[in-house]
Amino acid sequence: MKKEVTIGDRKVGSGHPTYIIAEIGSNHNRDINIAKKLIDKAAEAGVDAVKFQTFKAEKLYSMKTPKFSKDNIKPYDLIKSIELPRSWQKNLCKYSVRKGLHFLSSPFDYEAVDELDHIDVPAFKIASFEIVDLEFLKYVAKKKKPILLSTGMTNLGEIEDALTTIRSQGNNEIILLHCSSLYPSPVETVNLRAINTMKNAFQIPVGFSDHTLGIHISLAAIAFGANVVEKHVTLDRTMKGPDHSFAIEPDEMKQLVREIRDIEKAKGTGIKQRDVREQEMYEKGRRSIIAARNIPKGAKITRDMLIIKRPGYGIQPKFIDLVIGRRAKVNITAEQWITWDMI
């Protein structure tokens, strides 16, 4: 199993920086200027990639699909209204690359896979809903590019089926993304512990596609070992469209990236030891054995001659019983820390 995957010029996996995806999705509102402005904001925030979605309503939903309980519009009609014009993709890809970003898009049909492959996307992102379409996964896998596979609503058996299908085409460049397929996701549905369950089960990189409100759950996912974070972004949460209300705005995107990088630094090596930058605190802030009063040269040291306090230049407190009963080799003044060469 591959514990790291290379996307473009970046390695993804334990020991590497978190791969951060700004999910623009349909928040372009079919306005290419909005799409480019979101790419600009993503670049300013310092993410690794922007992601769109490539679908056609007639290939995604039956026109007979009933309305979702929270919507007043049939899924077909909703999807039709937010399709990404495919003529934009090459332009948006080049624009993203100029901004130092990877351009990704989730394909939802075979034609979309071919089109994205043609503009040389560095990886394919597969939505959770598509994970059960094994023929589709096989087709994507044949492109021999890394696959980020979302796993909302799945169990380990379904994930195993998908992995087996992808690997059957000789493609082992797979990253799993844990998520809840609710928009927005209530925090109690998130189950961040599943990130490590999936890492242990499959021994490949695992990330988190976050549909909760705010950025705090994404940050927690980093502490739980996520190698990738994907988060919906918008210019303004009050804009019309299905995904704006639970997305983060540009300032929050900057904060998310900054705090993810801080958490990465804070995770450290796991070795419990003092940092070299703590040396002054180590010396002056720790306690040691100090003379409680003047101790003349030759005097036999008793407990009442000693006190334990800061700084830590003297003999460590745990050795106080070895100091008691010894004789002073020099005059030791009150408040002086006692070192081994003094006794």
Cβ-based neighbours of 135, under 8 Å, separated by 6 or more: none
Residues 6+ apart with CB under 8 A from 145: 117, 121, 122, 123, 124, 171, 173
Assess whether 37 and 140 both reside in one domain.
yes
- Could you tell me which residues come within 8 angstroms of residue 39 by beta carbon, excluding any fewer than 6 positions away? 24, 50, 92, 95, 96, 99, 101
* Beta-sheet pairing, 4-7 with 10-13: antiparallel
pLDDT in tens, 158-207: 999 999 999 999 999 999 999 999 999 999 999 999 999 999 999 999 99
Residue 146: give its domain's CATH number. 3.20.20.70
Got the DSSP string for 38-54? HHHHHHHHT-SEEEEEE
pLDDT at 287: 98
Give the CA distances from residue 286 to residues 275, 318, 322, 324, 331, in Å, rounded to whole numbers and listed in that order: 15, 13, 19, 21, 24
| Rounded Cα gap, residues 256 and 231, in angstroms | 9
> What are the Cα distances from residue 315, in Å, to 282, 293, 298, 319?
13, 17, 19, 7
Q: How far apart are CA 149 and CA 124, in angstroms?
A: 8
For residue 71, is pLDDT > 80? Answer: no
Residues 95 and 46 in one domain: yes
Domain check: are 231 and 114 in the same one?
yes
The predicted structure's pLDDT at residue 69: 81
pLDDT tens per residue across span 225-253: 999 999 999 999 999 999 999 999 999 99
3-class state of residue 208 by DSSP: strand
CA atoms within 13 A on the CB side of 91: 9
Specify whether 160 is located in the same domain as 184: yes
Is residue 18 within 8 Å of residue 264, measured between CB atoms? yes
Query: Are 26 and 141 found together in one domain?
Result: yes
Residues 172, 300: one domain?
no
Is the pLDDT reported for residue 1 higher than 80? Answer: no
Encode pLDDT of 73-130 as tens digits: 888 888 888 999 999 999 999 999 999 999 999 999 999 999 999 999 999 999 999 9
Residues 51 and 26 in one domain: yes
Share of the chain above pLDDT 90, in %: 90
pLDDT at 284 (0 to 100): 95
Q: How far apart are CA 195 and CA 201, in angstroms?
A: 10
pLDDT tens per residue, range 275-334:
999 999 999 999 999 999 999 999 999 999 999 999 999 999 999 999 999 999 999 999
State how far the Cα of 38 lies from the Cα of 124, in Å rounded to an integer.
Answer: 20
Shared domain for 280 and 262, answered yes or no, is: no
Supply the pLDDT for residue 306: 98
State the pLDDT at residue 75.
85
Q: How confident is residue 47, by pLDDT bands cut at 50, 70 and 90?
A: very high
The mean per-residue pLDDT over the stretch 139-157 comes to: 98
Q: Are residues 166 and 311 located together in one domain of the fold? A: no
C-beta separation of 179 from 211 below 8 A:
yes
Residues 134 and 234 in one domain: yes
pLDDT score at 72: 80
Shared domain for 261 and 286, answered yes or no, is no
- CATH code of the domain covering residue 307: 3.90.1210.10
Structural contact between residues 335 and 290, judged by C-beta atoms closer than 8 angstroms: yes
Return the pLDDT at 60.
86
Note whether 305 and 212 are same-domain residues.
no
**Boundary residue ending a domain (267, 296, 325):** 267
- In 3D space, the residue among 180, 104, 110, 178 whose CA is nearest the CA of residue 146 turns out to be 104
Residue 124: which H helix or E strand, with range? strand 124-126
* Residues in contact with 318: Cβ distance below 8 Å, sequence separation at least 6, in sequence order: none
Tell me, what's the pLDDT at 298? 97
Q: Which domain holds residue 299?
A: 276-342
Give the pLDDT band of residue 21 (cuts 50, 70, 90).
very high
Amino acid 62: pLDDT:
82
CA distance 189 to 184: 10
Listed residues 214, 239, 267: the one ending a domain: 267
Domain boundary among 267, 292, 326: 267
* Number of domains observed in the structure of the chain: 2
Beta-bridge partner residues of 13: 4
For position 261, what pLDDT does the model report?
Answer: 98
